Amino acid sequence: MAGGFWVPNYVNFLDYGTSAISAGTILTANASTNTKGSYAQITASTTYDICGLYVSIGQANTAGAAYSVDLAVGAGGSEVIIIADISYQQGSTNIAPLFFPIGIPAGSRIAARCQSTTTVATIKCQVIGMDGNFLQPHLGNCATYGFNSSTTLGTLIDPGGTTNTKGSYAQITASTTYDINAVSFSFDSQSTSANGAIAFDLAVGAAASEVVVIPNMLMNIGTNRPLPPQLGPFAVEIPAGSRLAIRASSTNNTAGTRKFGATVYGIS
């Protein structure tokens, strides 16, 4: 595994995908729910090598619906996904930016596509590309764990029936694909009237032998409104082949409304 994390020295910040109406590029989901639509071009050609990027998604046309966005590079019809299923569930006017410290070569075409739990769904996407130097090798892969494409939701996390007490672990993945240098998170309400203040742990290891690597990250769940909708990245080293799991506590112990969903992005 590569030692350490990134030490950025950014020189240029470039906008890709912002439209004339002060919003991102419109992505249109498939007419069928939970099915990806066609790619929309964010930029035909990046100006510089990108060492990190902010992906901002939001301003969906249906408040409270769950969405996910694939970010890809490559010619039309030959796109290769570099960040899969950036999930989003918020109000129709909200924007959720998430930073990914990964590289894209100059001259690359960037495109994005989306899916949603609702029909006739659109969402907007913008990318801020950062050109510069990394004093340590920058990161090149982003693997998505815990996302269920058939529901457009993350892995269900149940804090359990006792308030402010950690519930059982939910497995996010049985085995990570790559060595991980950083993790980020996206959340959803599992399309229910979930609510409560949440503290959750990310852990590695076999079931019943989990070791917490990031403790007590805080967020809130309201009806179709996770706040914040995304967290990260957090610099943490996790070897390839590791099992990831999450447990949580909540101020809400009501069975129908205490649960939430989590998706984890392992950046390496």
Q: How far apart are CA 16 and CA 24, in angstroms?
A: 9
Q: How far apart are CA 38 and CA 203, in angstroms?
A: 36
Range name among 6-15, 92-101, 155-164 with the lowest pLDDT average: 6-15
Q: What is the pTM of this model?
A: 0.92
Residue ranges in 94-151 assigned as alpha helix (H): none
Q: Model confidence over 233-267: pLDDT tens digits?
A: 999 999 999 999 999 999 999 998 999 999 999 99
Name the residue ranges covered by the structural domains of the chain. 8-134, 142-267
Domain 142-267 has CATH 2.60.120: yes
CATH fold, domain 8-134, is Jelly Rolls (2.60.120)
Residue count of the chain, please give it: 268
How many Cα atoms sit within 13 Å of 3 on the Cβ side?
A: 0
Q: Model confidence over 81-101: pLDDT tens digits?
A: 999 999 998 766 788 889 998
Q: How far apart are CA 75 and CA 207, in angstroms?
A: 43
Mean pLDDT within 158-174: 98
Q: What is the pLDDT of residue 256?
A: 86
Q: Model confidence over 189-224: pLDDT tens digits?
A: 987 888 899 999 999 999 999 999 999 999 998 877
Partner residues linked to 25 by β-bridges = 125
Q: How far apart are CA 125 and CA 83, in angstroms?
A: 13
Residue 109 has pLDDT above 90, yes or no: yes
8-134 matches 142-267 in fold = yes
User: What is the dihedral angle through the alpha carbons of 99, 103, 107, 113, rounded to the nearest 10 degrees?
Assistant: -50
Q: What is the pLDDT of residue 20?
A: 80
Mean pLDDT within 119-127: 94
Residue 2 has pLDDT above 80, yes or no: no
Q: Model confidence over 16-74: pLDDT tens digits?
A: 999 887 889 999 999 999 999 999 999 999 998 888 899 999 999 988 899 999 999 99
